[in-house]
Amino acid sequence: MTEAGTWWTLLAAPVLLLALAGLAVAGSALLDARDAGRPVRVATLGRPFLGVPRALLAQPRRLPAPDVLLWRAGVITVPVAAILSTLVIPFGGAVVADLSVGVVWFNAMEVLTWAGLWLAGWGPNAAFSLVGGYRFLAQGLAYELPLMFALISAATGAQSLRVGDVVAAQHGLWFAVWMPFAFVVYLAGVLAFSFLGPFAYPAGRDIADGVLGETSGVDQLLLQAGRWLWLASGAAMAVPLFLGGGAGPGLPGWAWQAVKTVLVLGLLVWVMRRLPVLRADRYVEFAWVVLLPVAVLQTLVPALAALG
Partner 1 sequence: MTGVVLLWVLGVLALAGGVLVFTLDSMARVTFALLGSLMCVGAVVTVLGLPYLGVVIVLMMVMEMVIMAVFMIAYMMNPAGLMPMSMLHNTRGALVISVAVFAALVAGIFVVPWPDRSPPRPRDTTVQVGVSLMGEQMLTMVTLGFVLLATMVGATALATRRGRYDRLGDDLDQRPAKDPAVGGVGR
Q: 232, 281, 282, 274: which is closest to 257 by C-alpha?
A: 232
Residue type for 38, please? R
Least CB distance to partner 1 at residue 155 (A)? 10
- Category of 250 on φ-ψ map: left (φ > 0), alpha (ψ -120 to 50) or beta: left
Least CB distance to partner 1 at residue 278 (A)? 8
**Which of 106/183 has CB closer to partner 1?**
106
d(CA 161, CA 189): 19
- Angle in degrees, CA 111, 144, 178, rounded to 5: 120
Residue selected from 12, 30, 73, 126 as contacting partner 1 according to rule CB under 8 A: 73
What percent of the residues of the chain are helix, what percent strand, and what percent coil, each to the nearest 5? 75, 0, 25
Binding flags for partner 1, 102-121, as an x/- string (CB under 8 A): --xx-xx--xx-xx--xx--
Query: Is 301:178 a contact under the CB 8 Å cutoff?
Result: yes
**Which of 162/260 has CB closer to partner 1?**
162
Number of residues that bind partner 1 (CB under 8 A): 34
Instruction: Check binding of 97 to partner 1 (CB under 8 A).
Output: no
Enumerate residues 143-162 that contact partner 1 by CB under 8 A.
Answer: 144, 161-162
- List Cβ neighbours of 156 (8 Å cut-off, separation of 6 or more): 299, 302, 303, 306
Instruction: Check binding of 15 to partner 1 (CB under 8 A).
Output: no
CA 21 to chain CA mean position, Å: 10
Enumerate residues 261-290 that contact partner 1 by CB under 8 A.
Answer: 278, 281-286, 289-290
**Which of 138/263 has CB closer to partner 1?**
138
Binding site for partner 1 (CB under 8 A): 67, 69-70, 73, 99-101, 104-105, 107-108, 111-112, 114-115, 118-119, 122, 134, 137, 140-141, 144, 161-162, 278, 281-286, 289-290
